[in-house]
């Protein structure tokens, strides 16, 4: 059977593929059966929307594909499509995301459940087209749900799950599925594409625009001007903001429930919010995010073999930040080394470090912590690098404190 | 875990070769991860691709620094970069060249050498020096890590933009058939 037949034939069973993360994401899109796709390719996302375009051309995806003139138009077009009841898709990264910024920040307030893969990339400048988390971290306060994938298979699976999470009536928020540029986007491995019939049942009946609908027969105003401090007052605006924050908190439960159901139906289980790895008897732990985690786990295993009581905490869901799950994990250790693939310029540390320390506050307990920044501009964080992180984190237990972040890859 | 580093030049298809080899190794029941070295894809510039395979799932997604096997799909890339950097003892080198084993400066830690005139074959098959699939045949012959049949199935599932599948199937067959394998016995290192 050809790819087209197997993709659209609901009888076909799960299929093994060897592909990169961008193609895996495109298969996730195909399984979610979007109605409208708008694209503007930019490295390292380019091949993702090329795969999606190819799937549309071949009939694997039955959607309207809009190849528009820039990312601002991409998201504006998809907002209109979603308001008309369409399930939508796009992907972007780096400067493309920057150019998308205005409609990007408008989407969560419109409560439109768009799904967009961010093939994360470091930001300018100096010039760089390589992977990093800086682009996604720049927009972490825009109100989108953001999940970071560890593996190519997880990119496919999470892309499908994103639709069910975002479209849940208690959530109604846009979702970014983040995959590391280069390492996941171009990383090739064997994956399973689940049967469409199972994914169709998992996603259920589509109901995108129950809350607002562009319909010529029933004209309505969307995104009206709200009151300021004078006149009608800001209460309506505050109410909308509060609604977004409430939906973000509810999303934590929905993300867990969705991952559980995906595991039950498809057979692949992921920690939906925070993964605890070898944490039960650990004295200290690394905190990681994204595709760096595989090498970090290998380094943790090697350190365990040397008798080091080290574990690992991986963050999958970064927005909303899973404070309770993180606090639970942090309560099991006495020191942490947090590894970021981006920087928080105002804090001379990494953003994951910032967030982890904020979650720590809810435990009413102090933990010595160190910020490690690596993998910028596509740099490789090796198992040896993580062994160094483990050694440095162990020093925290002996009372050592670091002044500022540890810069991995500075001499690479 | 076995680590392979493929060296070539931009435009020769080192990255596509690593994808095809990944497909073939998965066909053989192995777990595989492959990533390209991240650089600007200029035609003619030295490029590399990295691959790991194992009997068990592989978690790390990293470049390769200590390869067991080096495949050089370009005859002159050995003069542009140190393709043997970090190589493990007892390693394997699969190289495109017209030279004999005696004419080559083979590092001491290479135990197995596979030599194939892939440029000559490519000029006959494609009319231009595209050596990637030929050198996959050479790799299969040299290491036995993957069968010729699995490679052909890997090729069949790859999308070739210009050169056709038929030519590439011929290329991989000829690469397999025309590779001279030398087991360099230590310490006298005689070719057999």
Q: Is the pLDDT of residue A277 over 80?
A: yes
Q: Is the pLDDT of residue A202 over 60?
A: yes
Q: Best residue in A154, A189, A300 to probe B by mutation, most B CBs within 10 Å?
A: A189
Q: Does some domain include residue B187?
A: no
Q: Does some domain include residue B90?
A: yes
pLDDT interval class at A220 (50, 70, 90): confident
The alpha carbon of residue A242 and the mean position of all alpha carbons in its chain are separated, in whole angstroms, by 23
Give the other-Cβ count within 10 Å of A216's Cβ: 5
User: For position A11, what pLDDT does the model report?
Assistant: 52
Q: Do B62 and A380 touch (CB under 8 A)?
A: yes
* CA-CA-CA-CA torsion sign (A371, A376, A378, A382): negative
> Quick one: which of B17, B46, B50 has its CA closest to B35?
B50
Residues A106-143 have pLDDT tens digits of: 999 999 999 999 999 999 999 999 999 999 999 999 99
Q: Does some domain include residue B103?
A: yes
pLDDT interval class at A207 (50, 70, 90): confident
User: For position A402, what pLDDT does the model report?
Assistant: 96
Q: Do B60 and A130 touch (CB under 8 A)?
A: no
Question: Are the beta carbons of A166 and A158 closer than 8 angstroms?
Answer: no
Averaged over A228-236, what is the pLDDT?
A: 82
Q: Is the pLDDT of residue A1 over 60?
A: no
Q: Does some domain include residue B87?
A: yes
pTM for this structure?
0.95
Averaged over B11-21, what is the pLDDT?
A: 91
Give the domain range for residue B107: 2-180
Q: How far is A100 from chain B (nearest CA, A)?
A: 26
Q: What percent of chain A has pLDDT over 90?
A: 87
Is residue B60 within 8 angstroms of chain A, CB to CB? Answer: yes
Averaged over A176-196, what is the pLDDT?
A: 96
B18 contacts in A (CB within 8 Å)?
A: 188
Dihedral angle over CA of B147, B149, B152, B154, nearest 10? -70
Q: How far is A402 from chain B (nearest CA, A)?
A: 27
More confident residue, A216 or A32: A32
Chain A neighbours among B 165-184 (CB < 8 Å)? none
Question: Which residue reads 């309505």 in tokens?
Answer: A220
User: For position B188, what pLDDT does the model report?
Assistant: 52
List B40's β-bridge partners, or say none. none
Residues B33-50 have pLDDT tens digits of: 999 987 766 788 899 999
pLDDT interval class at A34 (50, 70, 90): very high
Q: Is the pLDDT of residue B153 over 80?
A: yes
> Quick one: which of A273, A284, A75 has its CA closest to A174?
A75
In angstroms, the Cα distances linking A167 to A38, A115, A230, B167 are 19, 10, 35, 48
Q: Is the pLDDT of residue A404 over 60?
A: yes
User: For position B162, what pLDDT does the model report?
Assistant: 56
Residues 6+ apart with CB under 8 A from B145: B2, B25, B28, B53, B139
Distance CA A350, CA B23 (A): 37
User: Which stretches of A314-362 are DSSP H helices?
Assistant: 323-330, 351-360
Q: Is the pLDDT of residue A227 over 70?
A: yes
Q: Do B60 and A186 touch (CB under 8 A)?
A: no
pLDDT interval class at B103 (50, 70, 90): very high
> Quick one: which of A328, A278, A281, A273 has its CA closest to A299?
A278
More confident residue, B191 or A340: A340
* CA-CA-CA-CA torsion sign (B135, B137, B141, B146): positive
Structure tokens at A378: 């596509």
User: For position A337, what pLDDT does the model report?
Assistant: 98
Is residue A182 within 8 angstroms of chain B, CB to CB? Answer: yes
Q: Does some domain include residue B26?
A: yes
Question: Are the beta carbons of A343 and A133 closer than 8 angstroms?
Answer: no
E strands in A231-309: 274-277, 284-289
Give the other-Cβ count within 10 Å of B129's Cβ: 19
User: For position A2, what pLDDT does the model report?
Assistant: 45
Q: Does some domain include residue B189?
A: no
pLDDT interval class at B191 (50, 70, 90): very low
Q: Do B35 and A187 touch (CB under 8 A)?
A: yes
Distance CA B192, CA A226 (A): 84
Distance CA B37, CA A182 (A): 9
Ordered domains of chain A (ranges, CATH): 3-203 (3.40.50.970), 274-407 (3.40.50.920)
Averaged over A342-360, what is the pLDDT?
A: 97
Q: Does some domain include residue B185?
A: no
pLDDT interval class at A385 (50, 70, 90): very high
Q: How far is B184 from chain A (nearest CA, A)?
A: 32
pLDDT interval class at B161 (50, 70, 90): low
Q: Is the pLDDT of residue A66 over 90?
A: yes
State the CATH number of the domain containing residue B63. Answer: 3.40.920.10
| A86-97 exposure pattern, b = at least 16 Cβ within 10 A, e = fewer | bbbbbbbbbbbb
Q: Is the pLDDT of residue B122 over 60?
A: yes
Task: Find the range with the poorest average confidence among A13-27, A135-149, A174-188, A307-321.
Answer: A13-27
Distance CA A114, CA A88 (A): 6
User: For position A407, what pLDDT does the model report?
Assistant: 98
Q: Do A189 and B65 touch (CB under 8 A)?
A: no
- Candidates B22, B38, B62; nearest CB to A378: B38
Question: Are the beta carbons of A250 and A276 closer than 8 angstroms?
Answer: no
Q: Residue B52: phi, psi to the nearest 5?
A: -120, 140
Averaged over A144-153, what is the pLDDT?
A: 98
Q: Do A190 and B26 touch (CB under 8 A)?
A: yes
- Tell me, what DSSP letter sits at residue A344? B
User: For position A6, what pLDDT does the model report?
Assistant: 53
Angle at A46 between CA A44 and CA A48, to 5 degrees: 100
Give the other-Cβ count within 10 Å of B180's Cβ: 15
Task: Find the range with the poorest average confidence among A23-37, A297-311, B8-22, B58-72.
Answer: B8-22
Q: Do A16 and B35 touch (CB under 8 A)?
A: no
A293 contacts in B (CB within 8 Å)?
A: 59
Q: How far is A312 from chain B (nearest CA, A)?
A: 14
Domain count, chain B: 1
Q: Does some domain include residue B188?
A: no
Closest chain B residue by Cα to residue A186: B35
- The overall average pLDDT reported for chain A is 94
Residues A90-100 have pLDDT tens digits of: 999 999 999 99
- The overall average pLDDT reported for chain B is 92
pLDDT interval class at A5 (50, 70, 90): very low
């Amino acid at each position: 059977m050809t790819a087209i037949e197997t993709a659209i034939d609901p009888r076909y069973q799960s299929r093994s593929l060897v592909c990169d993360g961008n193609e895996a994401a495109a298969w996730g899109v195909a399984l979610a059966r979007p109605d409208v796709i708008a694209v503007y390719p930019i490295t390292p996302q380019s091949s993702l929307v090329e795969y999606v375009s190819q799937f549309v051309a071949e009939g694997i995806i039955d959607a309207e594909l809009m190849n528009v003139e820039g990312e601002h138009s991409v998201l504006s077009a998809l907002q209109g499509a979603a308001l008309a009841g369409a399930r939508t898709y796009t992907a972007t990264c780096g400067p493309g995301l920057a150019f998308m910024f205005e409609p990007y920040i408008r989407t969560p307030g419109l409560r439109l459940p768009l799904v967009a893969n961010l093939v994360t990339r470091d930001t300018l400048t100096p010039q760089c087209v390589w992977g990093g988390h800086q682009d996604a971290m720049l927009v972490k306060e825009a109100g989108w749900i953001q999940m970071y994938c560890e593996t190519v298979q997880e990119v496919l699976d999470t892309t499908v799950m994103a639709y069910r999470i975002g479209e849940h009536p208690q959530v109604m928020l846009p979702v970014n599925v983040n995959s590391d540029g280069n390492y996941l986007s171009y990383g090739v491995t064997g994956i399973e594409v689940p049967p469409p019939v199972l994914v169709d049942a998992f996603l259920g009946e589509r109901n995108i625009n129950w809350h607002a609908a562009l319909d010529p027969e029933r004209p309505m105003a969307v995104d009206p001007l709200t009151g300021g401090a004078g006149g009608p007052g800001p209460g309506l605006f505050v109410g909308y903001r509060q609604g977004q924050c409430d939906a973000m908190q509810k999303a934590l439960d929905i993300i867990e429930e969705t991952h559980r159901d995906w595991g039950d139906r498809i057979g692949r289980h992921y920690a939906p919010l925070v993964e605890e790895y070898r944490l039960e008897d650990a004295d200290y732990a690394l905190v990681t995010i994204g595709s760096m985690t595989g090498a970090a786990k290998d380094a943790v295993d090697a350190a365990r073999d040397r008798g080091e009581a080290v574990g690992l905490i991986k963050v999958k869901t970064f927005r909303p930040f899973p404070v309770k799950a993180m606090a639970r994990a942090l309560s099991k250790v006495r020191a942490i080394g947090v590894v970021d693939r981006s920087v928080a310029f105002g804090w001379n540390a990494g953003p994951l470090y910032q967030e982890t320390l904020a979650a720590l506050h809810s435990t009413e307990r102090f933990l010595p912590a160190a910020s490690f920044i690596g993998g910028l501009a596509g740099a490789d964080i090796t198992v040896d690098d993580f062994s160094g992180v483990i050694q440095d984190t162990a020093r925290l237990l002996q009372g050592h404190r670091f002044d500022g972040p540890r810069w991995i890859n500075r001499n690479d | 875990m076995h680590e392979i580093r493929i060296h070539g030049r931009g435009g020769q298809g080192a990255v596509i070769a690593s994808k095809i080899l990944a497909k073939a190794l998965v066909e053989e029941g192995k777990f595989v991860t492959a990533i390209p070295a991240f650089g600007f894809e200029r035609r003619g510039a030295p490029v590399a691709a990295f691959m790991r395979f194992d009997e068990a799932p592989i978690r790390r997604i990293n470049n390769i620094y200590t390869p067991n096997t080096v495949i050089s799909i370009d005859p002159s890339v050995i003069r542009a970069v140190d393709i043997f950097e970090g190589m493990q003892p007892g390693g394997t080198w699969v190289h495109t060249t017209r030279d004999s084993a005696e004419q080559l400066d083979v590092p001491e830690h290479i135990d197995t050498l596979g030599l194939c005139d892939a440029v000559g074959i490519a000029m006959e098959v494609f009319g231009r020096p595209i050596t990637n699939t030929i050198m996959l045949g050479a790799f299969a012959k040299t290491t036995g890590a993957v069968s010729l049949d699995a490679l052909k199935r890997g090729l069949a599932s790859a999308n070739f933009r210009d050169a056709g599948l038929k030519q590439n199937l011929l290329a991989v067959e000829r690469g397999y058939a025309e590779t001279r394998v030398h087991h360099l016995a230590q310490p006298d290192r005689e070719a057999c």
